[in-house]
């Protein structure tokens, strides 16, 4: 998404042009990439994320001025964010979308945008056709959680969108963990992980592991 500043000749533009959409958000003109076929459209999780996004946007405007100032400073130091509201929304979306009772909304940012300990020695295998065991050796800290994501490799059509789907969030001190699924025998499943702390800061993703449901 990009913010647009107009001059004396052009003062307004809205609608779709090729692969871009021009619109207005909170009084500012922005450009975002048009997505004709969104992955996983209108699922229960997407509905949850959209509702959470709207709720957080309202929360930002109710924050004390001092908290907004702290987020502005943090956003300037956070790669890819730069704005206070952007940093606030990103951190809290990660926390609330993690769907874990230990990760809750924060009103003030951490002191610095550090990266939590990355997931190490990640492995997984099937115990049964419907249960997989996931394990890691680090992090091992009650302030850090680990998240798993999976995707399928079903080639329904040439334009089939293979997307990563959130699986679950675990406290990092509890390894190994079992994941129960309902995919049929022969399904290719890819899985990867990352860590997240209570400030919404995340580590890079791990390598991807592929297994076939027995």
Boundaries of every domain in the chain: 1-36, 39-113, 123-212
Helix ranges restricted to H, the chain: 44-62, 65-77, 84-97
Cα separation, 144 vs 196, whole angstroms: 6
- Residue 15 clears pLDDT 60, i.e. is over it: no
Phi, psi of 206 (to 5 degrees): -80, 180
pTM of this prediction?
A: 0.75
Question: Tens of pLDDT along 92-126?
Answer: 999 999 999 999 999 999 988 889 999 999 999 99
What is the per-residue pLDDT for 7?
52
What number does CATH give the domain 123-212? 2.60.40.10
Cα separation, 148 vs 124, whole angstroms: 11
Span 173-186, mean pLDDT? 93
* Residue with token string 């809205």: 14
Span 161-184, mean pLDDT? 90
Please report which helix (H) or strand (E) contains residue 171, including its range.
strand 165-171
Coil/strand/helix, residue 87: helix
- 62's CB contacts (< 8 A; 6+ apart) are none
* Residue with token string 């492995």: 123
Question: Tens of pLDDT along 169-179?
Answer: 999 999 999 99
What is the per-residue pLDDT for 58?
86
What is the per-residue pLDDT for 28?
59
Cα separation, 84 vs 90, whole angstroms: 10
Pair 59, 50: CB distance under 8 Å: no
């Amino acid at each position: 998404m990009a913010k647009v500043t107009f001059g004396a000749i052009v003062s307004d533009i809205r609608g779709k042009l090729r692969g871009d959409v021009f619109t207005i958000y909170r009084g500012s003109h922005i450009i975002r990439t048009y997505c004709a076929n969104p992955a996983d459209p209108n699922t229960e999780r997407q509905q949850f994320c959209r509702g959470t996004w709207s709720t957080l946007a309202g929360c930002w405007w109710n924050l004390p001025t001092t908290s907004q100032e702290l987020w502005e400073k943090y956003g300037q130091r956070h790669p890819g964010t730069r704005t206070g509201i952007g940093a606030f929304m990103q951190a809290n979306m990660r926390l609330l979308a993690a769907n874990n009772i230990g990760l809750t909304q924060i009103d003030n940012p951490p002191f610095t945008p550090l990266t939590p300990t990355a997931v190490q020695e990640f492995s997984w295998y099937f115990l049964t056709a419907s249960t997989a065991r996931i394990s890691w050796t680090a992090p091992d800290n009650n302030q850090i959680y680990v998240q798993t994501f999976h995707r399928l490799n079903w080639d329904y059509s040439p334009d089939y969108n293979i997307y990563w789907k959130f699986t679950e969030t675990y406290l990092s001190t509890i390894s190994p963990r079992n994941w129960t699924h309902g995919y049929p025998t022969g399904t290719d499943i890819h899985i990867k992980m990352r860590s997240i702390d209570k400030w919404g800061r995340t580590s890079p993703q791990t390598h991807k592991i592929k297994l076939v449901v027995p």
